[in-house]
Amino acid sequence: MPGHCNHPRTVHQAQLEPGDRVLIHTDGVTEARTATGQAFGEDQLVDFITRALAAGEPAPEALRRLIHTILDHHDGRLQDDATLVLAEWHPSPRPDPLVAQ
């Protein structure tokens, strides 16, 4: 696409376990800057998520707090698009073929 990087993409695979969370974000999250030019950065993003997980926060609450932290960092107004998706995997139990449905 015009204007986008033509860097090679890396595909990652992982086996998720029940309760695992996956965070997807655009660069507008980590590149959000303060008035003095300090970026939010990946280190701060990782630190925030690590602490939220350690505290046992539910995914919706962790995401809500992260959004507010990013907006506070940038004085309430982002200069770039910022997208966050936090998914938590809870598989449906498979029906037992030996039990009548």
pLDDT given at position 25: 93
If you average pLDDT over every residue of the chain, what do you get?
85
pLDDT given at position 36: 87
The string of pLDDT tens digits covering residues 46-60 is 999 999 989 999 999
pLDDT(23) > 60 = yes
pLDDT(79) > 60 = yes
Q: Where are the alpha helices (DSSP H) in 1-101?
A: 27-30, 41-54, 59-73
Containing 92, the helix (H) or strand (E) segment is none
What does the alpha-carbon distance between residue 28 and residue 89 come to, in Å, rounded to a whole number? 25
